[in-house]
Chain A
Amino acid sequence: MPRFPKPPEGSWTQHYPELGTDPVSYEDSITPGFYEREKEAIFKRAWLNVGRVEQLPRKGSYFTKDVDAAHASIIVLRDRQGQVRAFHNICRHRGNKLVWSDDPKQDTAGFCRQFTCKYHGWRYGLDGALTFIQQEGEFFDVDKSRNGLAPVHCDVWAGFIFVNFAREPEQSLREFLGPMVTALDGYPFEKQTARFGYSTTIHANWKLYMDAFAEFYHAPVLHAKQSPEKYSTAAQQAGFEAPHYQIDGPHRMVSTSGVRFWEMDTELVKPMEILTRSGLFGPWEQIGLGEMPPGVNPAKCDPWGLDSFQLFPNFVILIWSQGWYLAYHYWPTSYNTHVFEGNVYFVPATGVRERIAQEMAAVTFKEFALQDSNTLEATQMMLETRYIDRFHLNDQEILCRHLHKVVGEWVDDHEGARK
């Protein structure tokens, strides 16, 4: 008997019949040529989140971002009117990377009134306009007004800065995000500015890590050694079921039920969790964030644990019931490598106990992520042997099924449209 009711079709997967229930292929994760197709069909067409407005605190603030999967490097900045804008990070003169410090392969951030190319000193304003050419008289018919920085489509939703590398995006950002995601409007992301930021290079395809955090079926098994034995044994016997799944266009989400650790027997909880009153699910003292918008916990699960929203293609917002959130980004660098960025956000602590609870939650998050990362390399390695090419997914893994399906559709649509 399922612990939570399933849709009338009998399963979450069959509730979305276009997904099918057959075993799936991960050919899309082990083929160099397919990554090249994803670059064109997905990363140069979809809206990509590259940061948050808090990274641009004042007029003239900027950061750079290399997006390998779109073969791009951009400058994201706040202009003199306070508007967030993005430009390709290339000087009009000889094609030098315009903004970088020390190592041109590393992203950078800072504050300035204008950008000056390190090579020959051409200057650009915060609106992208070319304002100065060194020894301008030596040139032949350069019209400064037509040689500003090349703009990148840029828009902001809920404080998240998105860019789109298409010449003309097929949808506005809000249309692209759709009703499920935009129902998060009003969630106080902007109050949660205390950030623990992590980064790592993963030797696996970006979609395999998306898959890892798209299902919690793995949690009682892979992470068993994170908890006291008694808890792990009970968790494994119970298995994992989510009370709610939802799919909207290319995006998907899962809600999980909450665990009241503070009501548990002390043998089931680690001593440090009791001491800090915190753990994997966050601080035990719920942080009051006010009334939640309808997009949060849409099925009104009670007790509610978290909502994990997977925004196509490579961005996850994970909202915890305890009043904090995570953001994940998976930036492909080849068919079998990517950079994973994980950010843990809290309302800034005003006291020591709050801050120590945050430390405990952040350290716990890292330890779980380390186990997840390592497993991915083992998966990539074996998928690439190709001795087995079809794999089973259960109903709790519906979101993995959806991601690979959507990726295939975007590639087919793009290539079909070009024919």
Chain B
Amino acid sequence: MSALLPERFADLEPFAAKWCLPTEHERYGMRLASTTEEMQAFYDAVVPRAEEAMAHLEGLAFDALPEDATNLLHLLYSMVQVSFPVEVWRQPRVPDSGSSSFDCLVEPVP
């Protein structure tokens, strides 16, 4: 299988297929479908590389990101998404939210 991420971020490749997701709907869904341990492993791998990833993306034209850079950006969005359960709640859903939902229908691209 060909790499999804820029070569410099080959160490994050094991997480790419699961977390390089283009929409909030998919990222939030993946969060709910994951265990805290799975998210912790992803978080621990991506957070130390986040600064370098942002610096890498800053070197490219934001309105014309190549595919591997777009994937890297989506991986960072997933990092934001999993940080909530990992850093505070230790569960995929926000506490006391029961069955409520809040569907994201529109979001900026990229």
- Residues on A close to B: CB < 8 A? 194-200, 202, 222, 225-228, 270-272, 275-276, 342, 346, 348-353, 355-356, 358-360, 362-363, 366-367, 369-371, 373-375, 377
Contacts and interface: CB of A to CB of B under 8 A. Distances in A.
B36 interface: no
Contacts of B104: 196-198, 366
Nearest to B60: A352
Contacts of A366: 28, 102, 104
B7 interface: no
B108 A348 contact: yes
Nearest to B110: A355
Nearest to A378: B98
A197 B76 CA distance: 20
Contacts of B93: 370
Nearest to A353: B54
Interface residues of B, number: 38
Given A196-B108, A366-B102, A373-B100, A275 B94 contact: no
A158 to B, nearest CB: 20
Nearest to A343: B106
A371 B97 contact: yes
B105 interface: yes
Contacts of B28: 366
Q: Looking at B73, B80, B106, which has the most chain A CB atoms within 10 Å of its CB?
A: B80
Interface in B58-107: 58, 62-63, 73, 76-77, 79-81, 83-84, 87-89, 93-107
A370 B84 CA distance: 13
A370 B102 contact: yes
A198 B62 contact: no
Contacts of A370: 93-94, 97, 100-102
A97 B97 CA distance: 37
A200 B101 contact: yes
B13 interface: no
Nearest to A342: B102
Interface of B: 24, 28, 47, 50-51, 54, 57-58, 62-63, 73, 76-77, 79-81, 83-84, 87-89, 93-108, 110
7 contacts: A198-B103, A225-B96, A270-B87, A349-B108, A355-B73, A362-B107, A371-B96
B62 A349 contact: yes
A275 B24 contact: no
Contacts of A367: 84, 94
B102 A352 contact: no
Given A225-B89, A356-B76, A363 B84 contact: yes
Given A196-B107, A226-B94, A374-B100, A351 B62 contact: yes
Given A196-B108, A353-B58, A276 B80 contact: yes
B96 A363 contact: no
Contacts of B54: 352-353, 356
B36 to A, nearest CB: 15
B94 A196 contact: no
Nearest to B69: A352
Contact of A359 (B80, B102, B106): B80
B80 A360 contact: yes
Contacts of B100: 200, 202, 370, 373-374, 377
Contacts of B76: 356, 359
Nearest to A357: B80
A358 B87 contact: no
Given A270-B87, A271-B83, A352 B94 contact: no
A370 B104 CA distance: 12
B77 A356 contact: yes
B58 A351 contact: yes
Contacts of A373: 97, 100, 102
Contact of A346 (B58, B95, B108): B108
A225 B94 contact: yes
A375 B96 contact: yes
Contacts of A228: 87-88
